[in-house]
């Protein structure tokens, strides 16, 4: 049997794109290789949100070139966000002429066809056509995890935050039909999945013409079974009070919201085109905390956006302190060609960005420890998702990691008394 190996860069959305690609190859009797060395086809599913991911792709292509020198007939494809940009795709072709297929984000379902064309003698295929049609029916995916599953609800983004490349490489916002999503989630729950994460760049603007995001969540939360539903990512300008109320009300909706703030300075938020200010953001946080005092909150922060001063950064630190996230994803601003921020005056020097991010990481480590310590003595419902040594490992509904003693199997829920904490991690024991 022929084997394909897919290397994924970037976010969870890309992880799921890879799961779908494995399924489309499997339907042609091409299996999954666990290692690149064993594969007949190697695919790099790239990301371009920040420069780091792009650099890794170029580095890994050097290794792939060596594999290809030793294996005649090895087919290499590069796809995803990075190569959706025509200039990048053309440069890559010049620099790495051994790559057989270069395509972007739209034509992933057609990759097995393109590979077939290469087998039939075509030397090189470049296909960057934009196809914004939304696939109908249930998405076939070869999911790596047996407990947690991703489900796309929408594709693309219309927000055009000034630092972000996503709208240029993933196209306009478009929603899958709610009936397809409901069927997919129902099937996954029937197959035993316990945590379903709905995916979209801005899930709050989901709308298939008849069903909006609250209605979709309402219907999904009524699918019978013992499981949690989560979603990401929410845009603070669009997360409605109705959605927050529904999460508070429905046991199957996990009490966890990822709500990227990006900056704590109103001036920087305006330059980023985020369309909310700190007052509006805090208002949402207060409403979430009022209805769900134990809800888990996480966020993304970009440090060193053009013109960011020390005062702006201190406002971000203050916001992070005041809000008290469980978890914070911090990024150094990375210039993306073609976005408005890339040509703004006042680019911040690298050393300043590094110094600011390290302060922010230290601050968040203290906050996460304190929030974890405050959980000691509480009993939480935990989804067991693996083992850590002899102990069980799992996640709470608020997305906190917990290591515990007990006899739950992977994929089962347990009530766990939190007995201690270390950094952001909780430790505990199952209670009957």
Which residues are at the interface with ligand SF4 (CB under 6 A)?
Answer: 157, 159-161, 164, 166-167, 201-202, 235
- Binding-site residue numbers are 11, 47, 81, 157, 161, 164
| Nearest CA among 69, 70, 42 for reference residue 57 | 42
Distances (CA, A) of 384 to 295, 407, 413: 19, 10, 6
Cβ distance to ligand SF4 smaller for residue 161 or 278: 161
**Nearest distance, CB of residue 118 and ligand 5AD, angstroms:** 33
**Binding partner of residue 334 among ligand 5AD, ligand SF4, none, CB under 5 to 8 Å per kind?**
ligand 5AD
**Binding partner of residue 81 among ligand SF4, ligand 5AD, none, CB under 5 to 8 Å per kind?**
none
What is the widest separation between alpha-carbon atoms in the chain?
Answer: 66
Cβ distance to ligand SF4 smaller for residue 10 or 394: 10
Cβ distance to ligand 5AD smaller for residue 30 or 48: 48
By DSSP bridging, strand 125-127 and strand 101-103 are parallel
**Binding partner of residue 22 among ligand 5AD, ligand SF4, none, CB under 5 to 8 Å per kind?**
none
Cβ distance to ligand SF4 smaller for residue 297 or 430: 297
**Nearest distance, CB of residue 161 and ligand SF4, angstroms:** 3
Cβ distance to ligand 5AD smaller for residue 280 or 291: 280
Q: Which sign, positive or negative, has the C-alpha torsion 426, 148, 165, 126?
A: positive
Q: Put residue 239 in one of left, alpha, beta given phi > 0 → left and psi -120 to 50 → alpha.
A: beta
**Binding partner of residue 333 among ligand 5AD, ligand SF4, none, CB under 5 to 8 Å per kind?**
ligand 5AD
**Nearest distance, CB of residue 48 and ligand SF4, angstroms:** 11
**108 alpha carbon, distance to own chain's centre:** 18
Read off φ and ψ for residue 33, nearest 5 degrees: -90, 140
**Binding partner of residue 336 among ligand 5AD, ligand SF4, none, CB under 5 to 8 Å per kind?**
ligand 5AD
DSSP states of 112-170: HHHHHHHHTT---EEE-----PPPPSPPP---S-SSEEEEE-EE------TT--HHHHH
By DSSP bridging, strand 174-175 and strand 401-405 are unpaired
**Binding partner of residue 159 among ligand SF4, ligand 5AD, none, CB under 5 to 8 Å per kind?**
ligand SF4
Please count the other Cβ atoms lying within 10 Å of the Cβ belonging to residue 275. 14
**Nearest distance, CB of residue 273 and ligand 5AD, angstroms:** 12
Cβ distance to ligand SF4 smaller for residue 115 or 203: 203
**Nearest distance, CB of residue 302 and ligand 5AD, angstroms:** 5
Contact present, 68 and 76 (Cβ < 8 Å): yes
Burial class of residue 62 in the structure, from the number of CB atoms within 10 Å of its CB (0-12 exposed, 13-18 middle, 19+ buried): exposed
**Nearest distance, CB of residue 160 and ligand SF4, angstroms:** 6
Cβ distance to ligand SF4 smaller for residue 228 or 276: 276
- Binding-site residue numbers for [4Fe-4S] cluster are 11, 47, 81, 157, 161, 164
By DSSP bridging, strand 154-155 and strand 425-430 are unpaired
**Binding partner of residue 198 among ligand 5AD, ligand SF4, none, CB under 5 to 8 Å per kind?**
none
Read off φ and ψ for residue 173, nearest 5 degrees: -65, 130
DSSP reduced 3-state for 422: strand
Cβ distance to ligand SF4 smaller for residue 201 or 330: 201
Cβ distance to ligand SF4 smaller for residue 24 or 175: 175
Structure tokens at 28: 């042609």
**Nearest distance, CB of residue 86 and ligand 5AD, angstroms:** 19
Which residues are 428's β-sheet partners? 404, 418
**Binding partner of residue 124 among ligand 5AD, ligand SF4, none, CB under 5 to 8 Å per kind?**
none
Spatial distance between the Cα atoms of 366 and 254, rounded to a whole number of angstroms? 25
Which residues are at the interface with ligand 5AD (CB under 6 A)?
Answer: 49-50, 163-164, 260, 262, 300, 302, 331, 333-334, 336
What is the crossing angle of helices 241-249 and 213-221, to 10°? 10
Contact present, 120 and 142 (Cβ < 8 Å): no
Nearest residue to ligand 5AD on Cβ basis: 300
**Nearest distance, CB of residue 180 and ligand 5AD, angstroms:** 26
**Binding partner of residue 50 among ligand SF4, ligand 5AD, none, CB under 5 to 8 Å per kind?**
ligand 5AD
**Nearest distance, CB of residue 364 and ligand SF4, angstroms:** 20
- In degrees, to the nearest 5, what angle opens at C-alpha 301 toward C-alphas 398 and 315? 105
- Half-sphere exposure (CA, 13 Å, Cβ side) for 391? 14
């Amino acid at each position: 049997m022929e084997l394909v190996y897919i290397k994924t860069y970037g976010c969870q959305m890309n992880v799921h794109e890879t799961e779908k690609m494995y399924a489309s190859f499997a339907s042609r009797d091409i299996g999954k290789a666990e290692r690149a060395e064993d594969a007949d086809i190697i695919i790099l599913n790239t990301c371009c949100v920040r420069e780091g991911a792009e650099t890794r792709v170029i580095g890994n292509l050097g290794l792939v070139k060596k594999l290809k020198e030793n294996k005649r007939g090895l087919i290499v494809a590069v796809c995803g966000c990075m190569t959706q940009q025509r200039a990048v795709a053309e440069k890559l072709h010049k620099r790495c002429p051994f790559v057989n297929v270069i395509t972007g984000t739209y034509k992933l379902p057609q990759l097995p066809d393109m590979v077939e064309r290469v087998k039939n003698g075509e030397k090189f295929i470049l296909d960057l056509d934009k196809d914004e049609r939304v696939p109908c029916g249930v998405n076939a995916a070869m999911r790596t995890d047996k407990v947690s599953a991703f489900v796309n609800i929408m594709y693309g983004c219309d927000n055009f935050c000034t630092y972000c490349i996503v709208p240029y490489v993933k196209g306009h916002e478009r929603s899958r039909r709610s009936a397809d999503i409901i069927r997919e989630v129902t099937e996954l729950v029937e197959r035993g999945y316990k945590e379903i994460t709905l995916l979209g760049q801005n899930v709050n603007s989901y709308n298939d013409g008849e069903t909006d995001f609250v209605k979709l969540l309402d219907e999904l939360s009524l699918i019978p079974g013992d499981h949690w539903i989560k979603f990401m990512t929410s845009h603070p300008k669009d997360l409605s009070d109705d959605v927050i109320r529904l999460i508070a009300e429905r046991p199957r909706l996990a009490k966890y919201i990822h709500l990227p703030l990006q900056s704590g300075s109103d001036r920087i938020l305006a330059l980023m085109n985020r369309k909310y200010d700190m007052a509006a953001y805090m208002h949402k946080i207060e409403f979430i905390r009022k209805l769900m005092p134990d809800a888990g909150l996480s966020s993304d922060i970009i440090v060193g956006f053009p013109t960011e001063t020390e005062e702006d950064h201190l406002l971000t630190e203050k916001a992070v302190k005041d809000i008290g996230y469980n978890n914070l994803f911090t990024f150094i601003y990375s210039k993306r060609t073609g976005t408005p921020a890339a040509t703004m005056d006042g680019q911040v020097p690298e050393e300043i960005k590094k110094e600011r991010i390290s302060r922010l990481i230290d601050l968040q480590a203290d906050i996460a420890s304190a929030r974890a310590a405050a959980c000691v003595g509480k009993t939480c419902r935990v989804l067991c998702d693996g083992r850590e040594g002899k102990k069980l490992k799992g996640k709470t509904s608020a997305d906190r990691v917990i290591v515990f003693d007990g006899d739950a199997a992977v994929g089962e829920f347990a009530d766990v008394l939190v007995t201690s904490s270390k950094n952001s991690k909780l430790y505990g024991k199952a209670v009957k």
